[in-house]
Amino acid sequence: MKTFYTLFKKAPVVAKLTWVFAFVLSLNASQSWGQASITSSSTITESFTGYAGTSTFPTNWDMSGSGSSYAFRGTNQTSGTSGGWYGNDNMSFLGSGSASNGRGTWQLRNTSGGTLTGFNLSFVGRMWKTGIVSPTVRVYYLVTNSSTFPTNNETGWTELTSLAFSDSTANISTGATLTTNGVTATISNNVYLYLRRLS
């Protein structure tokens, strides 16, 4: 999944992310274009195959942003200059002075029949372009009974601080694997887990 960010059009920053999600318990997991259900101990991955930077995105994702020029921008990720979401078999956000707060939120639901007590999360982050102003990309999670995607603020969310990255992250220009293992979270059967990246 590619994601690119910038705070100002004169200083574009492009980041590529590939999610890999695994559970601490021996419960399987499966992922599809619909709701991602956790049903057994397999690792869940997200590829965004077929996503083309439109408002028709996978139903287990919510993508939002703010600003006067925020929009869905199509497939021209590498040379696009307008702020908003892009995609070309991946998911990207380009920020600007008038498009910001790019939030990509992934919904997963525990349908294993048991309670999860934690998870692991790993992805490859990459900044494709650098500039004077570079955002810090942050990752959060939320456990809730609600199937409605949470509002656009991080109140009540837990930040996974070890997964944040920016221009100063080692090897970020070629791809840095960021991983956190053993995140403690009680996710009862039929309860939802939301994962969010924010820049």
- Encode pLDDT of 92-150 as tens digits: 777 777 878 888 899 999 988 888 888 888 887 766 655 555 678 899 999 999 999 99
16 pLDDT higher than 70: no
CB-CB contact of 165 with 176 (8 Å): yes
Given a cut of 50, whether residue 23 has pLDDT beyond it is no
Q: What is the largest CA-CA distance in the chain?
A: 51
DSSP 54: S
Assess whether pLDDT exceeds 50 at residue 69: yes
- 45-58 pLDDT tens trace: 777 788 888 988 87
Cβ(102)–Cβ(173) below 8 Å: no
In eight-state DSSP terms, residue 88 is: S
Q: Which domain holds residue 120?
A: 2-198
d(CA 108, CA 143): 10
Counting the structural domains of the chain, the total is 1
Distance CA 102, CA 61 (A): 13
* pTM beyond 0.95, yes or no: no
* pLDDT top residue among 39 and 18: 39
